[in-house]
Chain A
């Protein structure tokens, strides 16, 4: 992998250079928050993580697709902004054209032999691609030649990566592709840009997974080497944290539920009214009613200054560089952790400062008993976020029991983050509340809420076929005029690739044909609506809807379509889903779907956000259309053409279209 990583790095930078040229020639500035730093630097940086490379390179195609959707959404967003800014429709066209990767397809595809080779070739090939869109156009034809599966795969991946890179570059916002591990050992790759807080990323993940959106979900970082871990606070900047990781880090990012995260707000009495563990108190505490909790929280977090829980007790402190632990009496104050020096009392004036919180984060220590001979396994660790290796500057503390650990960790978080924690909690609650309300709504009137929400939701993950039915139904429900049109068009390619999965030869041509202009357009259209709000999540969501409809996600980027088929071959699991999915989807008439939708909805809480944006989005889209319309038509055209080439597909597509027509 090492080699290929390097290659990819190089490739990236080349790409970047090209993109620079392109954008410059176009004279279009895309994102408002451009970074002044040389793109290359960013890029290297972005790719700096092993994880990233792997995630890009070794990603399952599903992921890549999803990622692409994200990217496309971003881009479309960006495009729209530029458009809005310039209000010159003509500009847009060249721009979009330039963006299209298709050109790469042409050049790169022929050369591919093996994965590695492919990447290296890329580098060589890259220079040409910068060529103007015009050049690209001619190129497409060549690819059709039959290629071996491996080659196809390699190519598809490379294409996706390239496209991803371009999009990244386009946005000019520092972005990371982050691999996030799920509970079930699966993982998702996610674009995270430098403006996103953990909260945004969580929201994004909520949409991609059908979790219940409760407040316990968190991003969790694990340092396998140091055996420490912690959850991100919702207001933390994810890119900032990740950029402290080293290049070859083994650190991982998880998406999971941790009830410790907001335990203090659920049962504040356990932290604020715990009088040194007197039994008497515990009993009364547990009985605390909601009203009292609320007033306790208000008292603690809503005053002129927040109240840090009074906390003191003996803890074990690991001695620097040794595996020995010393027991000391520690006290928590808003200004830091203090200890009582030998022979002194615990009055304020005698206390010695152990550590202040400004420059350290708090982590849970895992299995310190084994690793450091800790007296118990209830350890917490304080270290500067940048420290990644063993160091005397990492402080290990060990509590007697789990209760003390949770009190200390929570207390320190309160001292360090203050009211921010409470604000985070309230946002998280609002989010969870919204989600549950939506599910309720969904069940009541399936149709109205469903369409927008489903589209968004399903789009993201579903593409990968995890929850096929729900998504499909949603999509169908969505089937509104434009959507439909677009989707159907999209589908055609998708379907074709999909069913035909077996016939390998076919897909490639499609990709070549389809890709160029249409996809981008589409993405732009969809995204165009989205710019309104949360750039990332929403736009992504918006772009996705199309996918779900088709089931064959690829709609947005041209290159994606090819991958699915390829993957099918490679990855046994995905294909079944796909296969299953389409059938279900196709046969049932719209109405029936609606019913399904109702049921399926519950999970998709995220919809709400989608709803809001949706209406807003549509208008802009409409406005934009004027210019694109012609292209649209083209879009349909290409798919049709593809169909022609691929016998299998054409039938399917026709059937689909008919159904769509009926529905609408």
Chain B
């Protein structure tokens, strides 16, 4: 295209000069000037740019970003005219995939390359594929909060950032599994470590850190988070994300489809982590009893995952889980088919005999603990005045089957009591056993626990139960002290403080209870979950989380049409909830199943929803853009259309149709 110039320097053919900056949006970037015409195709322009640069490298990922219009020029067969590009357009020739730092649900940072040119929905599909998380539609990205950035600056140097930017995934093919992990993770030690970070629960956080982290103090605070969601139908570039930015990766839609521990180790773990942090940071409230169960599960999960690491450096975590599951299944089967009595007769039944001090609380009694000769056989506890009288009738005999066993322990005070609530036709009888030391306590306690479930000390789990109790006691001893079992230098969170019960509960319980009060309660809850395998325990944790009344509600401040005050709109997977801002009471609930249609008026930022029977609701969004509300509603509708039969395929168009919309930028 030999352009001809006039005397004034203008081209007399229709060509003109187009300036293109090389690299990402950077005013200082080097630039090229090309001569083009309005009929030039984008593809031709790209070619020309590459020729001009004269550098040998893979340019295949590069494309042109039009800054003013905030738009990628991806249609290579379109002409400049068609795009409407004139000489004043600021164009940047840069890579479509750029590194970002993702803060995962487990609070770890991971650097990877994300697409800056595709709609976020597609970018998420690619990211989740890389992380081997199924059902990417449930996840999305949030902008990192401003405040946290400041805090992080102090710590950032210590923090390890896992790097997956160099990992390339072959398109189209489902990642094959190799050595118990997706093949693309097995390339190097780093990526392997990264997979372990993804697929294994993290140790409990440092309680002090926990106290420092921001926690929502009101419903209003909980709405903050939801104002930061990125838009799924636009690309990262369009939303002002820059290379190297930190984004949060979270499960956005609380509708977890087909959660399967076997195929979803990463997804399960990350979901568990998100649930755990939700609870620890009081994003979701629970009762004391529930917190103890959560704490016990965390303790158990942590114990299992740590021991798994020790045994299995190669990290065949999933395999381990399978084995565990198989073993426990087997155990169940064995127990199920063969009556326990049968086992008893086959193996000699171990019994415990010892001098213990016994206390039976009664009305109007001043008696304290008294020494007795106690015999514990099968599930029955008998006690005698002394050992000599053992052959005769015991003072009392208690069948512990179905009883409640409550530890009453104070390690530093050398108090090892077992409180038994034994049911009988007349009611419950209460009895305290006081042991001399940890060893004795652990043996008797384990026996009582098994007996309460109708099993005897011949049961295979007896010795492990004893060990677990001892372990927990030692934990209590070191609790709050230094150098415990947390010797995994994985990161700052794996505190060097050992397992502190404070790391397992939300900070408000730290204030409410002393560690030594907390430990026995966690231990008590732990006895119900001690038999679970790692993935079962995670699943149980998630289920308990899902059972909380406030589970899965995303809060947004809105103002209903005709109302003068702000209110909260809660969005859950099946309903919308109108909540009083000040009191927190539910005012009204609408279910998606009754919804006819919803509309967004982008100009006045109002969402209008019509339900069956001509119920109309309209509100404007205050704390978040109405885009976010719109996308939440559309997203949940989309998720409800998923069916098992359809497998993994995602109907992206439908999703974008439901969540997209025209918004004036």
Q: How far is the CA of A394 from the CA of B428 in the complex (A)?
A: 10
- B589 on interface, CB distance cutoff 8 Å: yes
* A244 contacts across to B, CB distance below 8 A: 425
Is the beta-carbon distance between A36 and B345 smaller than 8 angstroms? yes
Is the beta-carbon distance between A284 and B613 smaller than 8 angstroms? yes
Closest-CB distance, A320 to chain B (whole angstroms) = 11
Task: Mark contacts of B303-346 with chain A using CB atoms, 8 A cut-off: 1 yes-contact digit, 0 otherwise.
Answer: 00000000000000000000000000000000001110110111
* B548 contacts across to A, CB distance below 8 A: 333-334, 348
Is the beta-carbon distance between A393 and B549 smaller than 8 angstroms? no
Is the beta-carbon distance between A391 and B427 smaller than 8 angstroms? yes
Interface residues of A in 245-295 (CB under 8 A from B): 246, 273, 275, 284, 292, 295
- A338 on interface, CB distance cutoff 8 Å: yes
Beyond A296-B593, A333-B549, A348-B549, whether A246 also contacts B345 by CB under 8 A is no
Which of these binds chain A: B35-43, B179-187, B222-230, B539-547?
A: B539-547
- B130 on interface, CB distance cutoff 8 Å: no
- B420 on interface, CB distance cutoff 8 Å: no
* B508 contacts across to A, CB distance below 8 A: 349
Is the beta-carbon distance between A36 and B427 smaller than 8 angstroms? no
Beyond A34-B342, A36-B346, whether A336 also contacts B289 by CB under 8 A is yes
Beyond A387-B427, A391-B427, whether A348 also contacts B289 by CB under 8 A is no
Q: Which of A334, A335, A349, A386 contacts B423 (CB 8 A)?
A: A386
- B426 on interface, CB distance cutoff 8 Å: yes
Beyond A37-B341, A299-B574, A336-B289, whether A305 also contacts B546 by CB under 8 A is yes
Is the beta-carbon distance between A35 and B342 smaller than 8 angstroms? yes
Task: Mark contacts of A336-367 with chain B using CB atoms, 8 A cut-off: 1 yes-contact digit, 0 otherwise.
Answer: 10100000000111010100101100000000
* B69 contacts across to A, CB distance below 8 A: none
Q: Which of B339, B423, B546, B591 contacts A303 (CB 8 A)?
A: B546
Q: Which of A36, A246, A305 contacts B341 (CB 8 A)?
A: A36
* B550 contacts across to A, CB distance below 8 A: 348
Is the beta-carbon distance between B293 and A273 smaller than 8 angstroms? no
- B431 on interface, CB distance cutoff 8 Å: no
* A335 contacts across to B, CB distance below 8 A: 287, 289-290, 293, 544, 547
* A37 contacts across to B, CB distance below 8 A: 341, 345
> Which size class do B's interface residues fall under?
35 or more
- A304 on interface, CB distance cutoff 8 Å: yes
Q: Which of A36, A299, A310, A359 contacts B342 (CB 8 A)?
A: A36
- A23 on interface, CB distance cutoff 8 Å: no
Q: Tally A residues with Cβ within 8 Å of B.
A: 45
- B138 on interface, CB distance cutoff 8 Å: no
* B423 contacts across to A, CB distance below 8 A: 359, 384-387, 393
Is the beta-carbon distance between A388 and B546 smaller than 8 angstroms? no
* A295 contacts across to B, CB distance below 8 A: 593
Interface residues of B in 275-316 (CB under 8 A from A): 285-290, 293
* A334 contacts across to B, CB distance below 8 A: 544, 547-548
Is the beta-carbon distance between B287 and A389 smaller than 8 angstroms? no
Closest-CB distance, A350 to chain B (whole angstroms) = 9
Q: Is the interface of B mostly helix, strand, loop or mixed?
A: mixed
Q: How far is the CA of A34 from the CA of B339 in the complex (A)?
A: 8
Q: How far is the CA of A338 from the CA of B549 in the complex (A)?
A: 13
Closest-CB distance, A299 to chain B (whole angstroms) = 6
- B369 on interface, CB distance cutoff 8 Å: no
Q: Which of A35, A275, A384 contacts B402 (CB 8 A)?
A: A384
Beyond A37-B341, A304-B543, A384-B402, whether A393 also contacts B428 by CB under 8 A is yes
Is the beta-carbon distance between B341 and A349 smaller than 8 angstroms? no
Q: How far is the CA of A284 from the CA of B593 in the complex (A)?
A: 13
Beyond A305-B543, A305-B547, whether A349 also contacts B285 by CB under 8 A is yes
- B59 on interface, CB distance cutoff 8 Å: no
Q: How far is the CA of A569 from the CA of B523 in the complex (A)?
A: 67
Interface residues of B in 598-654 (CB under 8 A from A): 612-613
- B424 on interface, CB distance cutoff 8 Å: yes
* B588 contacts across to A, CB distance below 8 A: 275
Is the beta-carbon distance between B259 and A353 smaller than 8 angstroms? no
Q: Which of A299, A308, A359, A389 contacts B425 (CB 8 A)?
A: A389
* A275 contacts across to B, CB distance below 8 A: 588-589
Q: Which of B404, B427, B543 contacts A389 (CB 8 A)?
A: B427
Q: How far is the CA of A611 from the CA of B424 in the complex (A)?
A: 45
Q: How far is the CA of A349 from the CA of B345 in the complex (A)?
A: 49
Beyond A35-B341, A335-B287, whether A304 also contacts B259 by CB under 8 A is yes
Q: Which 4 A-B pairs have the closest CB atoms?
A: A391-B427, A334-B547, A348-B285, A36-B345
A-B contact pairs, 9 of them (CB 8 A): A284-B613, A305-B543, A335-B290, A347-B285, A348-B550, A349-B508, A353-B288, A388-B425, A391-B428
List B residues at the A interface (Cβ < 8 Å).
Answer: 256, 259, 285-290, 293, 337-339, 341-342, 344-346, 402, 404, 423-428, 508, 528, 539, 542-544, 546-550, 574, 584, 588-589, 591, 593, 612-613
Other A-B pairs beyond A246-B425, A275-B588, A388-B426, 9, CB < 8 Å: A244-B425, A334-B544, A334-B547, A338-B287, A348-B290, A388-B425, A391-B427, A391-B428, A393-B428
List A residues at the B interface (Cβ < 8 Å).
Answer: 33-37, 244, 246, 273, 275, 284, 292, 295-296, 299, 303-308, 310, 333-336, 338, 347-349, 351, 353, 356, 358-359, 384-394
